[in-house]
Chain A
């Protein structure tokens, strides 16, 4: 057979499903279905809350303190006679936005640190990772307390505190991925073309780390919601009178017997959000893993 006779290869291939097709295929997965329903529910509430709620968040019904559920107040009222239904719904807004923002920020910080640390290696890596270890060694709550004590309680500061506390974990994950990727031959090929470190980090390596980062971030958003609620519970979250689920549980915990809905409903809301994020992360990680 002469060389020219070798046919040009043109084979039908196993088609690669796009990421959206993959995600769409997840609808049959019960875990993801439940998780996603919960999340979609809360996002919807966060957007539509002002249209649904019957009262203002700080509207006090006089003489209506610690009322059990009734037609006028489906979840009862709190210590100041405010409608708990209204406050839970409006509270959803910050609980959807703040954890997402803080983890988003943490991913940017953590991924950059991890990329640099993993790719450079040597003493740079050693130094950065020991600092990250030191931060991770602190109990998370202590770290929050220190940061909030230093900069004061506000929505922005809560985001910063959570981002700072979350970033080291992400940097460790990304560093581990980079350590594996940088020894791949396509990185050697890029170096042989004289590519800059920036190109190698952001064009060659980063795209290959995105999937695990997304899955990890989803789990972390769940935990971040939990942390932000804990800060609210301790009175260090978003300052009153903004409706904060953690703060609401804290204020109402003594009324558990008179008005059980007052602490339970915000507590359930927190739990559902955390579970929702975790379920989706679980399902997604499976879908992304099957990609290779």
Chain B
């Protein structure tokens, strides 16, 4: 049987003023019918370029060589009209951002029927039937209704389902999925992955699944290829790859993912040092050698070849036999300060009945009043000095607003924020210089958190001067000290942010936040835009700095494992309200709020043999302009008990140790329900 896709010795080079970037080097892979092939790697490893070359969508400055055979036919030689026939019909692609894949001015029906019209002649009613059929297959609720909608009227998860339906409409033989769930919330992602998993079984097509998320790959793929710096460095069946990784890079990627149950009190996270080399300046020999713990002179001398390590398992490493023997566990000696802070009882931050409502602008004529958006609607929590409070929830639940309110960047509507005895409910301009210094922030987006026109030295010197931390003579030394504390050396002083990678920028941003010796640092999704290998390093560093400098953290993230790792206490927030708060270990063991339970079961686990927990949330987060009555979660709650959930606000049920669950279900009952279904870690 000829494989559906067969790529042989593919090379893709981009020509630019900086030289030639070798985006894909000598890549060969085959995908058979009915098989899902996963392609993983950090950003900048050439994954998406592979997808573009298969679709023949490479930009003009790209040059490629090799063979890309689709059902035996070399796509590189195919004339334009043949490609037009194949695309959408036999080969389909799903991109990361559904919003840019859909035309905003056409209805869903129009867009889907265009796909059919372009390739087949079907009557209007037949077309419609096919579309409705496909929308049902992607589990779209009420397909008839969806057909009349425009893309902006659908949520991100729904849009992505439409795009997937569009790709599968003509039952192609090959579907390329380029990070199709990366932009979605975990709860939505879990739903989309369920659908994909079913569809690939049903349609028996070949799928090339590109992702940086090993959890997703483990969940959905049959075989996996790992790419590094444009090369395939390992390829194996999914179980084999996770059980016996034979390339240090694969092993590193696997270990970088914070495992469930990992806490800072036990061990530090594994991280791969350094970063992907620029594709214009690839090192001689093994491209991974500069970052590899096993590297020796033989690695840099000759370029390693792909070696067969087991059946169907190949790896590009001369040390493949000893890779797995690397010490796995990272033993971590707890800093002395870590012990001290366990006893700290002084509250640094008290938040009471906090509300943040955004007034919506009146419409053009000022006639209709629109309701306020209740982003934060009555939140209470305390944070002892030197401890870490993790805040988790889906997007749109108000996590980031909590960060901005604490920072004083967003005005408080009502409620109290007391921070080491000062009133912090006032906006930033009304805070004294001294209290400004005590609370600093690390932002989400490394690209926008540093001024592109300031050198790193300028960026770090400013807080030192503003807050008069050191005398001008010591300034230079202090800046170098700060850089060292985030594992960067002096060579960074005169660089501009554009010369730094995302992880390096975030290190500088962390150094800036700690420069003024604050008492509290608010971190708003500080690692979510970084690659996994870098995430672990930045998280370790943040945690170390926190303990050395005895700082409290408010750590906001959507990744439960990350929050669990770093936090002493966790608040789970939904639609502007806390639904569960307490010590980390308590939060992650039964009884839990049904929302927390659903969040936990949605996380894709980087283990192909993990049991898939079937708890899935339906629908999306309702609009905070018009939140549901009673318990805000009742519209999506899989454990809703009845009318009481809709009419009465749930009481706080104390589960001991300051652990509070806001739910109508008695705790004993919750515990019983959950021990049955939850995989406890």
Contact = CB atoms under 8 A, between A and B. Distances in A.
Interface of A: 1-3, 6-16, 25, 184-186, 188-195, 204, 207-208, 290-292
Contacts of A208: 451-453
Contacts of A2: 268, 330-333
Contact of A191 (B271, B409, B487): B409
Contacts of B516: 193
Contacts of B499: 13-16
Contact of B273 (A9, A13, A184): A9
B317 interface: no
Contacts of B407: 188, 192
B428 A6 contact: no
Given A1-B270, A3-B268, A192-B407, A8 B441 contact: no
Nearest to B515: A193
Contacts of B441: 188-189, 192
A290 B17 contact: yes
A9 B512 contact: no
A1 B330 CA distance: 5
Nearest to A12: B281
Nearest to A193: B466
B512 A189 contact: yes
A3 B491 CA distance: 21
A187 B278 CA distance: 30
A8 B544 contact: no
A194 B451 contact: no
Contacts of B509: 189
A153 B462 CA distance: 49
A220 B271 CA distance: 53
Given A14-B18, A208-B451, A194 B487 contact: no
Contacts of A11: 274-275
Report the 8 A-B pairs with minimum CB-CB distance, sorted nearest first.
A207-B453, A185-B443, A185-B449, A184-B448, A186-B451, A194-B436, A10-B489, A185-B448
Interface in B435-490: 436, 439-441, 443-445, 448-454, 462-463, 466-467, 484, 487-489
Contacts of B445: 185
Interface of B: 17-18, 268, 270-271, 273-275, 278, 280-281, 293, 330-333, 407-409, 428-429, 431, 433, 436, 439-441, 443-445, 448-454, 462-463, 466-467, 484, 487-489, 491, 495-496, 498-500, 504, 509, 512, 516, 537, 540, 544
Given A186-B449, A193-B462, A194-B428, A3 B544 contact: yes
Contacts of B537: 6
A8 B330 contact: no
A2 B269 CA distance: 10
Given A185-B448, A189-B449, 9 more contacts: A3-B332, A6-B537, A10-B488, A13-B500, A185-B444, A185-B445, A188-B407, A191-B408, A207-B454
A231 to B, nearest CB: 38
A191 to B, nearest CB: 5
B642 to A, nearest CB: 45
Contacts of B466: 193-195
B489 A8 contact: yes
Contacts of A9: 273-274, 487-489, 504
Contacts of B436: 192-194
A290 B487 CA distance: 30
Nearest to B450: A186
B495 A192 contact: no
A8 B273 CA distance: 9
Contacts of A12: 281
Contacts of B448: 184-186
B248 to A, nearest CB: 12
B681 to A, nearest CB: 23
11 contacts: A10-B488, A10-B489, A13-B499, A192-B436, A192-B439, A193-B467, A194-B428, A194-B436, A207-B453, A208-B453, A292-B498
A267 to B, nearest CB: 39
Nearest to B500: A13
A11 B278 CA distance: 11
Given A9-B273, A13-B499, A192 B452 contact: no
A16 B18 CA distance: 10
Contacts of B467: 193
Contacts of B275: 11
Nearest to A186: B451
A15 B18 CA distance: 10
Nearest to A197: B429
A292 B495 CA distance: 13
A51 B443 CA distance: 62
A274 B60 CA distance: 33
A292 B452 contact: yes
Contacts of A15: 499
A285 to B, nearest CB: 16
Nearest to A209: B453
Contacts of B431: 194
B487 to A, nearest CB: 5
Contacts of A290: 17
Q: Give the most central of B281, B407, B450, B462: most A CB within 10 Å.
A: B462
Contacts of A190: 462
Given A1-B270, A16-B496, A208-B452, A192 B428 contact: yes
A259 B441 CA distance: 74
Contacts of B451: 186, 204, 207-208
B453 A7 contact: no
A155 B273 CA distance: 64
Contacts of B450: 186
Contacts of B270: 1
A291 B497 CA distance: 12
B148 to A, nearest CB: 35
A116 to B, nearest CB: 17
Given A6-B487, A16-B499, A189 B443 contact: yes
A1 B408 CA distance: 39
A16 B497 CA distance: 11
A74 B270 CA distance: 81
Contacts of A191: 408-409, 428-429
B490 to A, nearest CB: 9
Given A3-B544, A191-B409, A14 B280 contact: yes
B431 to A, nearest CB: 7
Contacts of A194: 428, 431, 433, 436, 466
